[in-house]
Each structure stands twice: as C-alpha cells, then as structure tokens.
Amino acid sequence: MAILTPSLTRPAALGRGFALALGGAALITLGAKIQIPFWPVPMTMHTLAVFFLAAALGPRLGLAAVATYLTAGAPGMPVFSGTPERGIGLAYMAGPTGGYLAGYLLGAPLTGWLAQGRGLIGRFLAMLAGLTVVYACGLAWLAGFVPASSVLAAGLTPFILGDLVKLALASGLITALVRLRARAE
C-alpha cells in the first residue's frame, strides 16, 4: 500500500485513484512549467514532481499520474516544458526530450515499487534508481539529436546535481507528510 493512500472500498478507491492521477498530472505539468531554459533539454521541476508522486502514491498511481500527463500532452495540450513555443503534442514528444519523458513512464513505477515501506534513505535510493532509468532513456534518445561527444554535456552534467537535490527534497517532503499523517491519526 502506498504511503499517502488509505484503504478504501473498490468504487471509492477507483474514484480516488482517478482523482490522484489527474492531480498528479497537474503537479507534473506545474513542474514542467517551472524551468530554466537550456538547449536541447530544459532544466525543470519534473524530477521532483514525478518521483515525489511515485514514492508517495506507489507504483500504480505513480505510473497513472505520468501516463495521464503524457496522454494529455500527446494530442497537443500544452503540458510540456516550453510548450507551445517549442512545439506541442507528438512532435514535441519525438524531440530531444522524448527519451526523458519515456524514462518517467518507466522510472515512476520502479520508484514506487522500490520505495514501498522504506524510510527517508530508502525512498531516496528508490528515486535514484528511477532517475537512473530516466537518464538512460533520455541520453539514449538525445544521442539522435546531438553529437555523441556532447550527449553527457547536453543531457546529464548540467542536471545531475539539481536532480539529486530534488530527490532529497522529495524524500524529505514525504517523510514530513508521513509524520503529519501519523500525528493526525
């Protein structure tokens, strides 16, 4: 069971899951819009939002939130960073950041699964495993857009320290929320 989702009846759980997936997609969209422009990949708060949701909600709801976000963006809703200026929809998803977006889809459920029942450090390590998947997918895809000698400089080096800080922040935030919930019960 995920950290922030209590036991519910099946219909209530489905409704709550749907609401959490939509709310999660909105949070990821907000994370996409908070950015420092870089080329070809902007620096955003995606990482914080995706891995916070995955670790807090668990593998299924974390995946549902990312899938809802990507499903909203695919037909052209301006949910991605730099949209609509840098393109929209599938054209945007096929661009330089497409591998990172696919990596979120794979990294979120892995993070959610590994984070179950873990404390602060365990959640951070689960998020780090998910981030590794994101970088692997993102860098492999980015290699089609920049020279091989520039892939790490364009898609990893400027982002890794900030992403590690975001993972630490997300893990700490979940720990604080768990403590607040325990006090309320």
Concatenating the DSSP letter of every residue in 129-178 gives: HHHHHHHHHHHHHHTTTS-GGGHHHHHTTTTHHHHHHHHHHHHHHHHHHH
- In this prediction, residue 14 carries a pLDDT of 83
Which stretch of DSSP H or E encloses residue 54? helix 46-57
Q: Please determine, looking at this structure, whether the domain spanning 24-184 carries the CATH number 1.10.1760.20.
A: yes
Q: Could you state, in order of their start, the residue ranges of all structural domains in the chain?
A: 24-184
Query: CA-to-CA distance for 163 and 1, rounded, in angstroms?
Result: 26
Per-residue exposure over 25-42, b if at least 16 CB sit within 10 Å of its own CB, e if not: bbbbbebbbeeeeeeebb
pLDDT (0 to 100) of residue 87? 82
Residue 38 has a pLDDT of 66
What pLDDT score does 27 carry? 96
- On the 0-12 / 13-18 / 19+ scale of CB atoms within 10 A, 5 is middle
pLDDT at 155: 94
Tens of each residue's pLDDT in the chain, 185 residues: 455 555 667 777 788 889 999 999 999 999 999 987 766 777 899 999 999 999 999 999 999 999 999 999 999 999 998 888 778 899 999 999 999 999 999 999 999 999 999 999 999 999 999 999 999 999 999 999 999 999 999 999 999 999 999 999 999 999 999 999 888 87
